[in-house]
Amino acid sequence: MGITKTDFMRGMQCRKMLWLDRHRPELRVVPPETQARLDAGNDFGDRAMGMFGPYEEMTVYRPGTRIPDKKKMAENTARHLALGTPVLCEAAFLNYNNYCAADILRKTETGYDLYEVKNCPEVHGQFVRDAAFQYYIITRCGVKIERICIVTHGPEEEHPFVPVEITEQAKAYYSWINDNIWDLNRMQKQREEVIAEPGEQCTHPYEGWYYGYCHGQNAGPEQLTMEGL
């Protein structure tokens, strides 16, 4: 089954949230403001693909859907890495079924620089952990990552893409990710629902999409594909 970047971030916020994603997704309710934030983030990410000039996008969808085909994306990425393509967008990597797709990989003389794009004026801790997960998967696939940057949304719309280097902070999370990713893999497969008392994790750093269910509220479910997070 494996763990994606989104799975990992959601599971580390609340393990029950990840279990519900796998077993009870019909209970998911996405607030309109959250959907708007996701849509704006996707738009900003699409615009950022060209920040270094010409690029190759690795995205492949399953036939007739907007669901990424992870295996074909990883194969496409491997082919372009072998070709030495200078800039890859949505570069995909699979390691023991654990998966990530990097917003931008830019070739250097000895490896690649990794850029994670966030539609935000500043770098938050969850962004660093997000990039750290990608570093973990990519390096386990044998690709050397040199610099790691979060691309923030600067104040000038003519030049909105502002890279902020977080290399050392992100690489320091390697062991922490390794300690947790396999636990999350096991947990999401268990048949019994994870028990978690409501608390700070329900709203931090984001409000959980099962807030109503976990707090005994009745609300109609709304579906959303989470791969763009």
Q: What is the pTM of this model?
A: 0.90
Q: How many domains does the chain have?
A: 1
Which tens digits make up the pLDDT trace of 22-36? 999 999 998 888 889
Which tens digits make up the pLDDT trace of 106-135? 999 999 999 999 999 999 999 999 999 999
Cis previous bond, 155, omega within 30:
no
Task: Note whether residue 187 is domain-resident.
Answer: yes
Task: Determine the Cα–Cα distance for residues 155 and 67; give it in Å rounded to an integer.
Answer: 33
The 10 Å Cβ neighbour count of residue 215 is 10
What's the gap between Cα 15 and its chain centre? 17
Task: Note whether residue 225 is domain-resident.
Answer: no
- Angstrom CA distances, 213 to 25, 32, 33, 182, 198, stand at 11, 17, 19, 27, 11
Whose tokens are 């300690």? That residue is: 179
Task: Note whether residue 51 is domain-resident.
Answer: yes
Task: Note whether residue 157 is domain-resident.
Answer: yes
What CATH number does residue 176 fall under? 3.90.320
* DSSP structure class, residue 155: S
What range does the domain containing 169 cover? Answer: 5-214
Task: Note whether residue 222 is domain-resident.
Answer: no
Which tens digits make up the pLDDT trace of 12-68? 999 999 999 999 999 999 888 888 988 999 999 999 999 999 999 999 999 999 999
Task: Note whether residue 229 is domain-resident.
Answer: no
Task: Note whether residue 227 is domain-resident.
Answer: no
Contacts of 129 (CB under 8 A, 6+ apart): 9, 12, 170, 173
